[in-house]
């Protein structure tokens, strides 16, 4: 069967351009796509307006608070400057510890049944480590007497506010039971 074309409009050319055929076929899709893009654009525009309204209020508040923020930042800079100055002044004004009178006071405070194994000085703290032997009195009584006599010693009481027992534990020292102790002078 043959296809019969009847031309009802004789002035129209039979062969149409490919571009016009493409446009005729897809014009509706292009038109609907543009409408969808226009709707999306309108939605985004309205969303931007909705977001901008509170943002405008925040900008006004920020402009009112900006001098206070600048003031706080300048105060922070001043505080850091003063902290640096403080550390410099503290390094200049630190108390020099004379170890001879310190050791003399410690030696004068030592009971007969207590001996020191180590004396260290770090960060303005003097640490004493040693042992106490049970002889004529209990361990803790000897330690307490040692701490109280150091607190009353003239040079130690001027330099340190606190003399405290950090740790104490019983150990075996060559077959003899002694109490190991750590004392800090702060």
Whichever domain contains 145, its CATH number is 3.30.1360
- Please indicate, yes or no, if residue 4 is contained in any of the structural domains: no
User: Is the model's pLDDT at 36 over the cut of 90?
Assistant: yes
- Please indicate, yes or no, if residue 42 is contained in any of the structural domains: yes
Quote the crossing angle between the two packed helices 139-152 and 99-109, to the nearest 10°. 140
pLDDT of residue 94: 63
- Please indicate, yes or no, if residue 54 is contained in any of the structural domains: yes
Task: Tell whether 59 and 74 lie within a shared domain.
Answer: yes
- Please indicate, yes or no, if residue 7 is contained in any of the structural domains: no
pLDDT of residue 117: 92
The proportion of the chain whose per-residue pLDDT surpasses 90, expressed as a percent, equals 24
Sign of the alpha-carbon torsion through 141, 116, 154, 158: negative
Q: Which of 159, 152, 179 is nearest to 168 (CA)?
A: 179
Name the band, by pLDDT with cuts 50, 70 and 90, for residue 12.
low
Whole-model pTM: value is 0.49
Q: What is the rounded average pLDDT for all residues in the chain?
A: 85
- Please indicate, yes or no, if residue 6 is contained in any of the structural domains: no
CB atoms closer than 10 angstroms to residue 102:
19
Task: Tell whether 104 and 88 lie within a shared domain.
Answer: no
Range of the domain at 138: 99-185
84-100: pLDDT as tens digits: 998 888 777 666 778 88
User: Is the model's pLDDT at 6 over the cut of 80?
Assistant: no
Q: Which of 119, 107, 115 is nearest to 133 (CA)?
A: 115
Q: Which of 134, 127, 132, 133 is nearest to 106 (CA)?
A: 127
d(CA 71, CA 179): 59
- Please indicate, yes or no, if residue 56 is contained in any of the structural domains: yes
pLDDT of residue 183: 92
Residue ending a domain, among 62, 94, 126, is 94
Task: Tell whether 115 and 180 lie within a shared domain.
Answer: yes
CB 126 within 8 A of CB 105: no
CB 171 within 8 A of CB 178: yes
- Please indicate, yes or no, if residue 9 is contained in any of the structural domains: no
User: Is the model's pLDDT at 129 over the cut of 90?
Assistant: yes
Mean pLDDT for 19-32 is: 83
Mean pLDDT for 116-126 is: 88
pLDDT of residue 95: 62
134-185: pLDDT as tens digits: 878 887 888 889 999 999 998 888 888 889 989 888 888 788 888 889 999 9
Residue ending a domain, among 42, 60, 94, is 94
Mean pLDDT for 38-56 is: 88
Residue ending a domain, among 73, 94, 115, is 94
Task: Tell whether 72 and 90 lie within a shared domain.
Answer: yes
Domain tally, the chain: 2
Name the band, by pLDDT with cuts 50, 70 and 90, for residue 41.
very high
């Amino acid at each position: 069967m043959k296809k019969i074309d009847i031309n009802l409009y004789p002035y129209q050319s039979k062969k149409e351009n490919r571009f016009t055929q493409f446009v005729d076929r897809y014009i509706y899709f292009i038109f609907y796509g543009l409408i969808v893009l226009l709707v999306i654009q309108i939605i985004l525009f309205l969303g931007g307006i909705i977001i901008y309204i509170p943002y405008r209020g925040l900008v006004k508040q920020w402009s009112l608070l900006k001098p206070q923020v600048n003031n706080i930042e300048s105060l922070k800079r001043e505080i850091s400057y003063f902290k640096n100055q403080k550390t410099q002044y503290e390094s200049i004004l630190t108390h020099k510890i004379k170890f001879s009178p310190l050791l003399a006071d410690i030696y004068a405070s030592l009971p007969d049944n207590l001996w020191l194994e180590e004396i260290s000085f770090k960060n303005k703290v003097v640490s004493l480590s040693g042992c106490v032997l049970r002889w004529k009195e209990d361990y803790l009584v000897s330690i307490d007497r040692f701490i109280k006599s150091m607190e009353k010693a003239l040079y130690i009481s001027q330099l340190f506010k606190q003399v405290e027992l950090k740790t104490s534990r019983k150990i075996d020292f060559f077959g003899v039971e002694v109490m190991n102790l750590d004392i800090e002078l702060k």
